[in-house]
């Protein structure tokens, strides 16, 4: 190998591995163009599908998370590239609901996972059923229900899984299996409180009707256990919610025993870590009475909780044993909760952990037969503002140069990350001089006072790679996502209408991106 070639490869490798900033903008663009010219549509059938949903992870959150990650690595931040930002196909999703301009997560999840828009607070049902209208659902029955990609996959013999950092009965995961006129009917106590006892609670739907979902990991065990029993971790009574006396965890275990399958129920990290994915058919993990912890505060001890990345890793390893493939939904659910509290640092740390989970999934799967889709259900009124300099701390104040360029009318500094509404409002506006705006629980300033910050209605991103990912190509209605997934995997409505014969005959010869080739050369060079 010539010294000149060695030098070139060394520079490229260091740039890729260390994220070294370069001012060769033209060269950067040409490299990207060369890579883009090599992209070819993958028309194969998707054996596997993984959909990642960053709850509340709008474009401004992705932008801020990108900078935050880069700055934690010692760089200016703006040049950072997140894993899913390298995916070849990118589109936008219109997130409005059947009855709402700005949506909530049950109706957006129903669109993303079931292929139909619906009403505010309704999950897994058509828009013929209004929120809280149990009688309408009972009257219409199955006619009002919409199947999710998880159910369609099971009907085709695929393995399925749900991974989330929220309660597994929360809005987004519930859309994979439940049909409920209200997202809040997570336990029988919730339904009894609203005098709608004829409708089955969401936790009971998961266990009674959807125990064939092989991996379910997240929080929310209080909806599965009787109020009279103590929580297994705290040993306190009154934590659990069920009033009907049912222990749904025991019910799940009995159902798996009846199938003669190898199963595990876990509620803490050390037991989760001990699960052998090669010797486990069904895994139920409920790691908290309610939502799991923010990544920034997560207890990593044996009595604590696994990360989103660790749960994704375990789920894929269990599900990938099925020769017919799998469909997995992974939600970074607490990004949304941090935004509602206007605690931007927590949102960004969870968003970076979400990206790590995507990276893990890409590592464990083959892009030739696995469709990976990364999207959000909605965004937040969260923005990066001020004429800040390159490398300005993303959790800091707008820098003095910007402040001098356009001073505030009250002569007070402000954070570069702001919310349009939420609990971060104060009057008069707080003087942030000397305040640690990068503290874990710091609430960014808000323009309008609210107890909880709201969602926003702008379009969100769709990032995709793998079979048929080129079908994401412009601005789409949100429910289009579920239809692409079904078509790509030849399941659901497209099980017999996906041009299966022609797609099965396509050569399985692998294709490699430019960046993959460069990384391979780097590795070879390092051993030469």
Name the binding residues for Mg(2+). 55, 170, 172, 331
Return left, alpha or beta for 55; rule: phi > 0 is left, psi -120 to 50 is alpha, else beta: beta
CA angle 449, 450, 455 (to 5 degrees): 120
Please identify which of the residues 60, 93, 105, 307 carries the catalytic annotation. 105
Tell me, letter by letter, the H, E, C secondary structure of 188-223.
Answer: HHHHHHCCCCCCCCHHHHHHHHCCCCCEEEEECHHH
Active site residue 452: no
- Give the Cα separation of 474 and 496 in Å (integer): 26
What is the dihedral angle through the alpha carbons of 99, 102, 106, 112, rounded to the nearest 10 degrees?
90
Annotated binding residues for Zn(2+), as ranges?
55, 336, 340, 377-378, 455
| Residue pointed to by tokens 């709608």 | 196
At 311, list the tokens: 């749960």
Q: Which helix (H) or strand (E) holds 152?
A: helix 149-155
At 174, list the tokens: 């519930």
What is the number of residues in the chain?
528
- Give the Cα separation of 49 and 47 in Å (integer): 7
Are residues 182 and 121 in contact, defined by beta-carbon separation less than 8 angstroms? Answer: yes
Annotated binding residues, as ranges?
55, 170, 172, 331, 336, 340, 377-378, 455
The answer to whether the bond into 73 is cis (omega within 30° of 0) is no
For residue 496, give the 3-state DSSP assignment. coil
For residue 419, give the 3-state DSSP assignment. strand
- Catalytic sites, residue numbers: 105
């Amino acid at each position: 190998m010539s010294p000149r070639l060695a030098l070139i490869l060394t520079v490229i490798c260091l740039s890729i591995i260390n994220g070294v900033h370069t001012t060769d903008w033209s060269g950067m663009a040409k490299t990207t163009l060369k890579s883009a010219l090599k992209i070819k549509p993958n028309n194969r059938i998707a054996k596997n599908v993984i959909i990642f949903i960053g709850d509340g992870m709008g474009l401004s959150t992705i932008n801020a998370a990108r900078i935050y990650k880069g700055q934690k690595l010692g760089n200016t931040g703006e040049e950072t590239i997140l894993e899913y930002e390298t995916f070849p196909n990118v589109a936008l999703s219109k997130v409005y609901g059947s009855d709402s301009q700005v949506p909530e997560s049950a109706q957006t999840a129903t669109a993303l996972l079931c292929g139909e828009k619906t009403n505010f607070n309704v999950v897994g049902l058509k828009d013929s059923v209004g929120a809280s209208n149990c009688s309408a659902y009972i009257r219409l029955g199955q006619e009002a229900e919409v199947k999710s990609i998880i159910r369609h996959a099971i009907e085709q013999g695929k393995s399925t899984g749900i991974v989330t950092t929220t309660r597994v009965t929360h809005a987004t995961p519930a859309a994979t299996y439940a049909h409920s006129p209200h997202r809040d009917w997570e336990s029988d106590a919730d339904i009894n409180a609203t005098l709608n006892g004829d409708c089955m609670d969401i936790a009971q739907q998961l266990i009674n009707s959807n125990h064939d979902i092989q991996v379910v990991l997240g929080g929310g065990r209080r909806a599965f256990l009787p109020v009279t029993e103590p929580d297994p971790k705290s040993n306190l009574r009154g934590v659990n919610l069920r009033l009907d006396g049912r222990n749904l965890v025991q019910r799940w275990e009995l159902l798996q025993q009846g199938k003669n399958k190898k199963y595990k129920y876990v509620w803490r990290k050390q037991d989760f870590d001990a699960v052998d994915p090669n010797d486990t058919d069904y895994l139920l993990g409920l790691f908290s009475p309610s939502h799991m912890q923010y990544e920034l505060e997560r207890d990593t001890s044996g009595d604590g909780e696994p990360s989103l990345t660790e749960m994704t890793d375990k789920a894929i390893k269990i599900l990938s044993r099925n020769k017919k493939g799998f469909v997995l939904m992974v939600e970074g659910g607490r990004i949304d909760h941090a935004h509602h509290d206007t605690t931007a640092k927590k949102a960004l740390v969870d968003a970076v952990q979400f990206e790590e989970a995507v990276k893990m999934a890409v590592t464990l799967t083959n892009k030739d037969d696995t469709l990976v889709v990364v999207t959000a259900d909605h965004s937040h009124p969260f923005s990066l503002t001020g004429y800040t300099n390159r490398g300005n701390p993303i959790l800091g104040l707008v820098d003095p140069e910007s402040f001098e360029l356009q001073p505030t009318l009250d002569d007070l500094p402000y954070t570069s990350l702001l919310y349009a509404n939420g609990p971060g409002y104060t009057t008069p506006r707080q003087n942030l001089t000397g305040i640690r705006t990068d503290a874990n629980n710091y609430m960014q300033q808000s323009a309008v006072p609210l107890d909880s910050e709201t969602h926003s209605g702008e379009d969100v991103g769709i990032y995709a790679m793998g079979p048929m990912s080129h079908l994401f190509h412009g601005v789409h209605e949100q429910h289009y996502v579920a239809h692409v997934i079904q078509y790509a995997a030849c399941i659901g409505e497209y099980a017999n209408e996906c041009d299966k014969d022609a797609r099965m005959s396509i050569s399985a010869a692998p294709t490699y991106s430019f960046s993959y080739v460069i990384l391979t050369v780097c590795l070879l060079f390092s051993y030469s």
